[in-house]
Structure 1
Amino acid sequence: MDESRDTIGRASVNGITLAHQSFGDPGDVPILLVMGLGTQMLGWPDEFCALLAAAGHHVTRFDNRDVGLSTHLDELPPGQPVSAFLGRRPPYRLTDMAQDAAELIGALGHASMHVVGLSMGGCISQVLTLEHPHRVRSLTSMSSTTGSRRVGRPRLDIARRMVAQKPAATRAEVIELALTNWRQTGSPGYPFDEHRQRRRAALSYDRCYDPAGGARQFAALLAAPDRTAALAGVGVPTLVLHGEADPLIGVSGGRATAAAVPGARLVTFPGMGHDLPEALWPEFVAQIGRTVAQGEADRA
C-alpha cells in the first residue's frame, strides 16, 4: 500500500470535492468501488484493485464525503447516530452520498459504470441504483443490507465503537484502536494480516483522521429507510456477496438483499466476516466479473 497523492484525482460534484484513484486501462470496462462507514478508499486494497484491473476492468475507488482527502463537512451539525435512528434529521442522507457517486461517474467521463459497494457502500450503491438507474450497469452489494430493522440489522454496539467512540489522542492510539476494531469485525476463518492493517491504519491517519466525519456518515446510515420494497424495481444484473461469519451485518442482510432484487445472485462465504480476506480476492474478482459481463451483454 504505497499511495502517492500525485495519482489522486479530484472531482467537483454535488457541491463538494471527491478524491479518487483509478487502476488499469481507461479503455476497459469501468467499475466504481464504493467504500463503507468511516473508511477511506484504502479499504479497497491496492492489490485487490489491481486484480480487478488485470481481469479487464478500469477500476476507480474514491473517498466518500467526510473521509480521507474528500471534502469534510465541518460546517454541518455533528452527527448524532442515536437521534437519527429515532427519526431526527441527520446532517445529510444516503441519498446525498448516492448523488455524490452519480455525479462522480459523470465527472470521470462515463455515462454509467458497474458499481460495487461494501457495507455502507453497499447501501449507497443500492440507493444509487434506485435513484440514478441510468448511471449503473450492474450492482454488486457486499456485506450489506436493505436497511430493514428486522433482518441484517447492523450491530449498533460494534458500529458505535468504530465511529462514535471517544477520539484517540495520538497517532499510535488511533492505529491500535483501528486494529482492535478490525479484529472484532474480521473473518474468523482467515488469518488476520496485522502488518497490512497496521500500514493501512497509519496511512489513513496521515491522510486525514476525522472521527466527526464518521459520526455524520453513521447518522446518515441509521436514518435511511428500509429499501426492501424499492429494490424490487432494480433492473440491472445484481450480485450479493456476504460472509457467513459477519459479526457486524449478519448474513441475513445479504440474503434479504438478494431476495428483494429480482434475479439477484447470492454467494456466501463460510468463515468470512466483515472484511475482504485476501484468500477470497480471486473469487470476488471472478464473481464480480461474471456480473459485469452480464451487464455488458445487456447493453449490447
Structure 2
Amino acid sequence: MALAMNGPVRIDYQRMAAGAGPAVILLAGAGRPSTDFDYAFCAPIVAAGFVPIRVDSRDTGRSAAMAGAMPDLHAIKAAALGAGDAKPPYGIADMAADVLAVMDAEGIAAAHFVGRSIGGLVAQQLALHHADRVLSLALVMAMSRSMADAVPDAALDRLMTENIPDEEAYVARQLTVAQANGMAEDFDAERVAEEARIAWRHGIHPGGTARHFAASLAAPDLRVALGGLRIPALILHGRHDKVIPLARATETAEAIPGAVFEVDETMGHDGPPRLRQAWGERISAHLTAAIAHA
C-alpha cells in the first residue's frame, strides 16, 4: 500500500501491477474498501497492459476515518428534495479531490477510471471538472444524480442505527446484504463470509457507509453537464438491481454522448466472483478500444 494526502486527509491506495502502462483508477462502492477489486477482476486489465490502482476512499479501508456525529440522513434527503439545507459531512467533490491527490502522488497526468456505485459518481465528477485527467469511464451500477427520491426512509434508519462492533457482526451484516441485494443463485454463505472478513481486516470504519450515503444523497445532478463529455464510456448495470434502479443507469447512459450501455439480465446490486471476472474482461476490452481510438 501507498498513501497520498489531500490536506489532512490520508488516502491509501495500491498499484495492482508493476510497469509503466496506462493507469486505471478503481473506485469502490459506498462504505466498501478497495479489496472489492480483487485479483480476479484486475487480471485481464493487467494482461492487456494496464496498471490498475485501487483506492480506499475516505472512510474506508486504510484511508482516513472521518469520525464525528452520525449525519442526519433524513434531513440530508429532505434538503436534496428541496426542503431544508442540511449538508453531508463531505461531498462527492471532496472524494474526487482525494483521487486527484493519489494521481499527483503517483505522477499520473491522466488515467482511465472504473467506478462502482458511488465510485462512479466520483469518477463522473472528475470527468466533468478535471476533463484533462480522465481518459475514459467504466461505470458499474451507475447513477448520475442524487438517489434521494429512490432511497426508502427505512434504509436510512438502518444505516443511522447500524452498530458493527466486531468482525463477526460484520460477517452477519454482509450475509444479510448479500441475500437482500444479490441474485439467489449467487448466494454462497462461505464465500460471502470470507470476503467480509477480508474487507473487515482491511478496514471497515464505523459510520463510513452512512457518511458515503450522505454524500450521494447530496450529489448534484450531473446529467446536463455529462452531455459535454467526449471520452469513451461504458456502463454496466443489472436488470435486478434493487438499490440503484435500472432507470438511473439508463439516464446516465443517455446523458453521455456515445456511451455503451450493457444490461446484465443475471445481475443485482452485488459482485459475486462470476461477475467480477466478467466485469474485468469487459472493461479490459473497453480500455483497449479506448486506447486504439485515442
Q: TM-score, normalised by structure 2?
A: 0.90
Instruction: For 1:115, give the aligned amino acid.
Output: F
User: Residue 180 of structure 1 corresponds to which residue in structure 2?
Assistant: 176
Look up the SS of the partner of 1:229 in the other structure: helix
Partners of 1:81 and 1:136 lie apart in 2 by 31
Query: 1:201-216 maps to which residues of 2 (within 5 A)?
Result: 201-216=196-211
What runs of 5+ residues in structure 2 fail to find an aligned partner? 80-85
User: Residue 32 of structure 2 corresponds to which residue in structure 1?
Assistant: 39
CA-CA distance at 1:263 after TM superposition: 0.6
Does the aligned pair in 2 maintain the 1:14–1:99 contact within 8 Å?
no
User: Residue 223 of structure 2 corresponds to which residue in structure 1?
Assistant: 228
- Among 96, 107, 110, the residue aligned to 2:108: 110
Q: Deviations over 1:1-48 (max 9, x none)?
A: xxxxxxx11112343111111212322221111011011111222321
User: Residue 240 of structure 1 corresponds to which residue in structure 2?
Assistant: 235
Partners of 2:38 and 2:104 lie apart in 1 by 24
Instruction: For 2:214, give the aligned amino acid.
Output: A
- Among 286, 292, 296, the residue aligned to 2:291: 296
Does the aligned pair in 1 maintain the 2:76–2:214 contact within 8 Å?
yes
Does the aligned pair in 2 maintain the 1:147–1:227 contact within 8 Å?
yes
Look up the SS of the partner of 1:233 in the other structure: coil
Look up the SS of the partner of 1:211 in the other structure: coil
Measured on the aligned residues, the alpha-carbon RMSD in Å equals 2.1
Answer yes or no: is 1:277 the counterpart of 2:272: yes
Partners of 1:235 and 1:15 lie apart in 2 by 34
- 261-270 vs 106-115, greater mean Cα deviation: 106-115
In structure 2, do the counterparts of structure 1 residues 287 and 205 end up closer, same or farther at CA, with 3 Å as the change threshold? closer
CA-CA distance at 1:123 after TM superposition: 1.0
User: Residue 72 of structure 1 corresponds to which residue in structure 2?
Assistant: 65
Partners of 2:194 and 2:239 lie apart in 1 by 27
CA-CA distance at 1:214 after TM superposition: 2.0
CA-CA distance at 1:81 after TM superposition: 1.7
Q: Deviations over 1:253-300 (max 9, x none)?
A: 11111000011000110020112232234442343223323432354x
Q: TM-score, normalised by structure 1?
A: 0.88
- Among 18, 43, 60, the residue aligned to 1:25: 18
- Identity of aligned pairs, percent? 30
What runs of 5+ residues in structure 1 fail to find an aligned partner? 1-7
Does the aligned pair in 2 maintain the 1:102–1:132 contact within 8 Å?
no
